[in-house]
């Protein structure tokens, strides 16, 4: 099965199509309790390419969703700090890390919305606005990082460190606020 995908992958990678997950029904059923954040996201956004939809009738156990969300939030912050040191806090490293951190954070924020019993929003801007309003927390650094990721802003060399500082401050506020709300 995986070998058959090779030719498609070559074509799709040129078009920047995300590599699909290859899961069996048994994979889904046996691990859905361990990865509720990922499985709920997949369930809501998946595209069936062939065969029967394995999500029909699948129960995703959300007992561990809070722990996974907290781990995702805190882990993102810790990894970002670590990678800043590894990248020697250069402007190039910061620019790359802002996008990578935000990309990893968005699914976790959708999980946070589920925990808060909010509508789960797929688009980053709406997602951030909803969490800012509901949690009464200002996240300008995350909003700026989203604009940077989309190519809507191009900060100069002197602005990138300030953007990273705003991002770290916003992410720290978000982590603290989320931990207080869901623990």
DSSP secondary structure, 121-149, as one string: P-SHHHHHHHHHHHHT---HHHHHHHHHH
pLDDT band with cut points at 50, 70 and 90 for residue 52: confident
- Specify the pTM: 0.87
User: pLDDT tens-digit profile of 113-146?
Assistant: 999 999 999 999 999 999 999 999 999 999 999 9
User: pLDDT tens-digit profile of 68-101?
Assistant: 999 999 999 999 999 999 999 999 999 999 999 9
Q: What is the pLDDT of residue 92?
A: 95
Domains of the chain: 19-63 (no CATH), 65-182 (1.20.120)
**Burial grade of 99 (CB within 10 A; 0-12, 13-18, 19 or more):** middle
């Amino acid at each position: 099965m995986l070998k058959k995908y090779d030719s498609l992958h070559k074509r799709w990678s040129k078009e920047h199509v995300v590599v699909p997950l290859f899961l069996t029904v048994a994979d889904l059923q046996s691990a859905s309790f361990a990865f509720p954040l990922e499985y709920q996201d997949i369930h809501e956004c998946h595209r069936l390419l062939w065969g029967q939809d394995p999500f029909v009738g699948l129960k995703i156990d959300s007992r561990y969703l809070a722990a996974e969300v907290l781990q995702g939030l805190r882990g993102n912050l810790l990894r970002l700090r670590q990678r800043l040191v590894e990248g020697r806090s250069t402007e190039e490293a910061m620019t790359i890390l802002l996008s990578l951190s935000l990309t990893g954070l968005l699914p976790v924020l959708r999980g946070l919305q589920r925990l808060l019993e909010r509508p789960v929003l797929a688009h980053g801007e709406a997602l951030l606005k909803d969490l800012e309003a509901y949690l009464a927390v200002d996240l300008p650094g995350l909003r700026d990082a989203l604009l940077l990721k989309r190519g809507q802003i191009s900060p100069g060399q002197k602005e990138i460190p300030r953007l990273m500082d705003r991002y770290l401050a916003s992410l720290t506020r978000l982590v603290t606020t989320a931990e207080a709300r869901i623990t």
